[in-house]
Amino acid sequence: MNTKNWTEFPHDQSSFDFRGNDLRSAWDKLHNGDCEPYPDAERIRALEPDHDDPEGAAGTLADAWRAFHRGDFAQAVDLAESTGLIAHAVANKASGIYADYLEEDEEAKIEIYQTGIKRAEKAIKAYPDDANAHYFHAFLLGRYSQCISITKALAQGVGGKIKVSLEKALELAPDHAEAHTALGLYHAEIIDKVGKLVGSMTYGASADQSMQHCQRALELTPNAPIAQLEYGNALYLLYGDKRIEESNAAYHAAAGIEPIDAMQLLDREYARESME
């Protein structure tokens, strides 16, 4: 992936520099939402028993995550790609968040999402028990769908793939808050586009399930701006002005959260800009 011309992170990064052991110390808090295991040599060996340099790979992978958390998304992707498929999660998260918030060219966005989708498909085959192989497959498919329009994506069969991957991610990691958020929004977007009856019969979409997944994400990660944002979005997609106050309250909650890394800062700033 060519990251040479990627836009730099536009905010102060000084609070998000997890050097040395600071990354491990903050790991559980940083990854409460995606349940990604810490990238030590033991993790590398578990995924690839014949890896020729698990210690070196673990070190580069940790550096890729450090880059991601401070908002150096291009560096995160470059480091991940130098490590190989084992670094799929950070490559896909960094590229997906970058495309979502910082890339303005629509064709470039779609290319980033398509590259990530292919990477996730390879990761699913290589590491079928890795929850984030499945989650980021769904995450990137979802963002790709929003670029080409949800209706067009449903016609291409993308909706079913997203649901399958999210459900598999949650089967492997039941407390994966970001997967709960994504599945909650999936149900809401389906119903918004095709209605409750067709959504239920064709795609298994349900307003109740949407709310259950969104609320579970909020229980698991009450201080994650994205959980609040997508809950607000789901409320509006499902109920419109009937629950607009609750939707706005979720955005206000997101806007008031102190971010713990660059991604959360982008989420928070989006919430604040949306309320202006």
Domains of the chain plus CATH, in order, are: 181-276 (1.25.40)
Q: DSSP letter at 156?
A: T
Q: Answer yes or no: are the C-beta atoms of 199 and 228 closer than 8 Å.
A: no
- pTM comes to 0.95
What is the block-wise mean pLDDT of the chain (276 residues), using blocks of 10 residues?
A: 93 95 97 97 94 96 98 98 97 98 96 97 98 98 87 81 96 98 95 88 90 98 97 97 96 97 98 89
| Cα 24 to chain centroid, rounded | 21
For residue 179, give both structure tokens.
């997967």
Tokens 């009937």 — which residue?
A: 242
Tokens 């520099």 — which residue?
A: 17
Q: Answer yes or no: are the C-beta atoms of 84 and 57 closer than 8 Å.
A: yes
- Residue 98, pLDDT score: 98
CA angle 192/224/241 to nearest 5° reads 30
- Residue 199, pLDDT score: 82
CA angle 265/270/272 to nearest 5° reads 95
Contacts of 45 (CB under 8 A, 6+ apart): 51, 54
Q: DSSP letter at 21?
A: T
- Residue 150, pLDDT score: 72
DSSP SS3 for 27: helix
- Residue 193, pLDDT score: 87
Residues in the chain: 276
- Residue 152, pLDDT score: 80
- Residue 194, pLDDT score: 85
